[in-house]
Amino acid sequence: MSIHVVDWQGESMTVTFRTNASTGSWHDIGSNSSVLNETVYCYNTGDMDEFDTIYYWSVNCTDGTYWTNGTYNFRTRVDHSPVFSSENPLNNSILVPIRSAKVSYILS
């Protein structure tokens, strides 16, 4: 995740990333201090790895006097892993002619 921050007076800022992904309550997942006008990144997204899930994250930015906060969300992709069923021949079969083997899968 990333955000571009600007302090028009040129003061140093502290940027804190938060999420409520794993516990349901907001907690810090990253913080950068002494930030100037730049893009700030947070790579700690380990709690946000379930398929087809909406995750919320927020960013707080302060220069020690003034502050602002933004809340954002994203949805992870749907799992399109193949699902195998009705295997023919059955798993661990032996002495099966190659022409009778069949492999198929369904994308969900």
What is the spatial distance between Cα 61 and Cα 42, in angstroms, rounded to a whole number?
13
The answer, yes or no, to whether residue 6 has pLDDT greater than 80, is: yes
Q: How many helices (H) and strands (E) does the chain have?
A: 0, 8
Q: Is the dihedral of CA 87, 89, 93, 98 positive or negative?
A: negative
DSSP state at residue 79: P
Q: Write the pLDDT tens digit of every residue in 12-37.
A: 999 999 998 877 899 999 999 999 99
Mean pLDDT across the chain, nearest whole number? Answer: 84
| Residue 30 pLDDT | 93
Long-range contacts of 91-98 (CB under 8 A, 24+ apart): none
Q: Write the pLDDT tens digit of every residue in 34-64.
A: 999 999 999 887 778 888 888 899 999 999 9
